[in-house]
Amino acid sequence: MIVEILDRRGTVRHRVRLVAFPATIGRGYGNDVILDDRYVDPLHARLEWDGHGGLVLVDQGSVNLLRDPASGQRTRQLPVRSGVEVRLGRTTLRFLDPAATLEPALRDGAVGEADGPIARPLLMAAVILGTGVLLTLNSWLGKTDRTRFSELAGEALIALLMVMVWAGGWALVNRITQQRFRFPEHLTIPCVVLSGYIVASAVEEWLSFLVPEGIAWGTLIAGIGLALTVWGLAAHLARVSTLSRTAQWLWSLTVVGALTGVVTLANSGDQPEFAGANSASQLKPLPARWIPTVTPAEFLTEVDQLKEDVDQLNDRMAERDAEAE
């Protein structure tokens, strides 16, 4: 029989293998299982055969008796099977059959992935550095005044610093749960997400410029952005937790989904006012002959649809007003 000594959170502190019975449990040094607990008697209990091939734990006249950890009930005798827990003083013991079959080992997704592409030092350095360059380039292209390079690099550094704070948070959690920091990996993950965002929004600008009507590029790219975020969160979770891979993705999806839902709900009140505004217009430097265009007449045919839209909108608003009155 294996006796596991558990701490308050249920984590195994110590395991003792008992081969000969009766065996004694108590605070005294002569016991087979020694418990360092002031609420345990020097000789607290004895584990012995019950005469039917089973084991029983018998109290030896202790001050605090034996207690069922679930119900708190005190008892003098407790039949012991594999998996039974009992409290002596303030210590919880769990009995296990050494022949019991165990669950197969968890696949360490984290380790698998971490040792995979992201954990390679050269790649990590390239991603982090690349993100810095991308941030600088992005802010340089968006600036239309005279800007010094130091200013741009400063901005990119501030952004990277914020990412580092995020990564630091995850690394600390990682240290607590897995005794490993893995800071570079936690830094690489948001860098991948950030770079993905920058690239995706650049692609979106070009697509909405080249094919302005018909396809909601913004929504499509927002979807890609969300997917990247879900991946990032799952990758962090894979490193800090022992969750199965499915659970990592589910948690991540739930968190991102909930946040997106809250933001969407918060903005939904403004929908009718801003729907169809011209905020999406992007101008890109392409030679005129490469730009897909329509004739003014074709464009004005599209415009005619707008009249129907606002007329319908007007009718709906009138109906709503009538209802309100």
Residues near another protein, by CB under 8 A: 140-146, 209, 212-213, 272-289, 291-296, 298-300, 302-307, 309-311, 313-314, 317-318
Residue 67 contacts residue 87 (beta carbons within 8 Å): yes
Q: How far apart are CA 36 and CA 78, in angstroms?
A: 22
CB nearer to another protein: pick between 139 and 229: 139
Judge whether 44 and 36 are in contact, CB under 8 Å.
Answer: no
The dihedral formed by the CA atoms of 24, 25, 26 and 31, expressed in degrees to the nearest 10? 50
| Neighbour-count burial of 160, counting CB atoms closer than 10 A to its CB (0-12 exposed, 13-18 middle, 19+ buried) | buried
- For residue 296, the minimal CB distance to another protein (Å) is 5
The HSE-up count of residue 168 (CA atoms within 13 Å, CB side) is 6
Question: Do residues 118 and 188 lie in contact, with contact meaning Cβ atoms separated by under 8 Å?
Answer: yes
Min dist. Cβ of residue 278 to another protein (A)? 4
Comparing CB distances to another protein, the nearer of 260 and 314 is: 314
- With H, G, I as helix, E, B as strand and everything else as coil, classify residue 278: helix
Contact 69, 90 (CB under 8 A): no
Question: Are 219 and 294 in contact, with CB atoms under 8 Å apart?
Answer: no
Measured from the CB atom, is 30 or 142 closer to another protein? 142
Q: In the complex with another protein, which residue's Cβ is closer, 141 or 266?
A: 141
Closest CB to another protein among residues 101, 281:
281
Separation between Cα atoms, residue 56 and residue 24, nearest integer Å: 12
Please state the closest distance from residue 199 (CB atom) to another protein, in A: 15
Q: Kindly list the distances between the CA atom of residue 187 and the CA atoms of 116, 126, 131, 164, 167, in Å, as whole numbers in the listed order.
A: 16, 12, 11, 6, 5
| Closest distance to another protein from the beta carbon of 222 (Å) | 18
CB of 206 to another protein, least distance (A): 11
Closest of 52, 53, 56 to residue 22, by C-alpha: 56
CB of 290 to another protein, least distance (A): 9
Cβ closest to another protein, residue 117 vs residue 212: 212
> 263 vs 300, which CB is nearer to another protein?
300
Tell me how far, at minimum, the Cβ of 207 lies from another protein, in Å: 13
Closer to another protein by CB, 103 or 273: give it: 273
In Å, how far are 128, 151, 194, 285, 301 from 131, measured between CA atoms?
Answer: 5, 17, 7, 24, 44
CB of 210 to another protein, least distance (A): 8
